[in-house]
């Protein structure tokens, strides 16, 4: 158990629908990252939050949005779903935002992922 | 944009052999991480590197942060069947986002 909790583990839905994925970071971590991994592909960075504020954006579609709440858990909202959105969505947490060189502070700890299937 | 080129893409090796894989980029980074991902699971951190030239070991794994800060390699010695999986490099330049390599798929033949 990495300490990063993601729910749901599996989700099957239809095109055009909206889903919400949830992530609770490891205790003490302030930063949450979301990544998308399509079948047999690498990890694509979507977005990062640090202590409730958006810190960095990657290749996140406009149909997707995220937020980090005061208790530091984060939600990724995916709307108007398309077949191509089927993927594993990973959340990772770190103690700080990056840019700090102290060892251990900015390594990413991943959750087990949420597998989204859009039919 | 920044990109990590990871090679080889996949490899089949015999149990007991040593394995080498690397990540290269045209960009400079200040942190390199190596992860292993088992099927259907999240990536698990193997080694973290924070200084150019740094050489770090974790059991049978050894990784180095390239002196130019544009590359890193991972070696696995005396491979065993449980080394099977996908190995990812990840790097950060202080821009608040880690980018990941495309992965090296390792298969070990007993």
Question: What digits encode the pLDDT tens for the residues A18-66?
Answer: 999 999 999 989 999 999 999 877 899 999 999 999 999 998 999 999 9
Considering only CA atoms, which of B37, B97, B98, B49 is closest in space to residue B73?
B49
Q: Nearest residue of B to residue A55 by CA position?
A: B96
Q: What pLDDT does B96 receive?
A: 67
To test the contact with chain A by mutation, choose from B42, B44, B100, B105 the residue with the greatest count of A C-beta atoms within 10 A, namely B42
Q: What is the mean pLDDT of residues B85-100?
A: 87
Considering only CA atoms, which of B14, B23, B24, B33 is closest in space to residue B84?
B14
CB distance A99–B96 less than 8 Å? yes
Q: What pLDDT does B95 receive?
A: 72
Contact call for residues B38 and B28 (beta carbons, < 8 A): no
pLDDT at A100 over 60: no
Lowest mean pLDDT among A110-119, B62-71, B97-106: B97-106
% of chain B surpassing 70 pLDDT: 98
Q: What pLDDT does A99 receive?
A: 47
Instruction: Give the list of residues 6+ apart from residue A117 with CB closer than 8 angstroms, or none.
Output: A10, A11, A12, A13, A86
The span from the CA of A32 to the CA of B66, in Å, is 28
CB distance B50–A101 less than 8 Å? yes
The span from the CA of A38 to the CA of A17, in Å, is 19
3-class secondary structure, B48? strand
Place of tokens 């919400």: A20
CB distance A45–B97 less than 8 Å? yes
By Cβ distance, the residue of A97, A101, A112 closest to B96 is: A97
Cis peptide upstream of residue A17 (ω within 30 degrees of 0)? no
Q: What pLDDT does A73 receive?
A: 97
Between B44 and B95, whose confidence is greater? B44
Q: What is the mean pLDDT of residues A69-78?
A: 97
State chain B's mean pLDDT as an integer.
92
Query: Can you give the three-state secondary structure of chain A, one letter per residue?
Result: CCCCEEECCEEEECCCCCEEEEEECCCCCCEEEEEEECCCCCCEEEEEEECCEEEEECCCCCCEEEEECCCCCEEEEECCCCHHHCEEEEEEEECCCCCCCCCCCCCCEECCCEEEEEC
Between B49 and A102, whose confidence is greater? B49
The span from the CA of A82 to the CA of A55, in Å, is 27
């Amino acid at each position: 158990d990495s300490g990063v909790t993601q729910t749901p583990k599996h989700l099957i839905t239809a095109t055009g629908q909206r889903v919400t994925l949830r992530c609770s970071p490891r205790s003490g971590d302030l930063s949450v990252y979301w990544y998308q991994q399509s079948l047999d592909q690498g990890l694509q960075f979507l977005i990062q939050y640090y202590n409730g504020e958006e810190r960095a954006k990657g290749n996140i579609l406009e149909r997707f949005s995220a937020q980090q709440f005061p208790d530091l858990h984060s939600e990724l909202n995916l709307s108007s779903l398309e077949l191509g959105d089927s993927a594993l969505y990973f959340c990772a947490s770190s103690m700080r935002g990056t840019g700090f060189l102290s060892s251990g502070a900015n390594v990413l700890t991943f959750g087990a992922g949420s597998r989204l299937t859009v039919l | 944009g920044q990109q990590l080129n990871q090679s080889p893409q996949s490899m089949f090796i015999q149990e007991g052999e040593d394995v080498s894989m690397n990540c290269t980029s045209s960009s400079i980074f200040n942190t390199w991480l190596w992860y292993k991902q088992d099927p259907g699971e999240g990536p698990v951190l193997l080694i973290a590197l924070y200084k150019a030239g740094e050489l770090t070991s974790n059991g049978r794994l050894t990784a180095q942060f390239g002196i130019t800060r544009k590359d890193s390699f991972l070696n696995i010695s005396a491979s065993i069947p449980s080394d099977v999986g996908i190995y990812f490099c990840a790097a950060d330049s202080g821009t608040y986002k880690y980018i990941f390599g495309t992965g090296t798929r390792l298969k070990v033949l007993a």
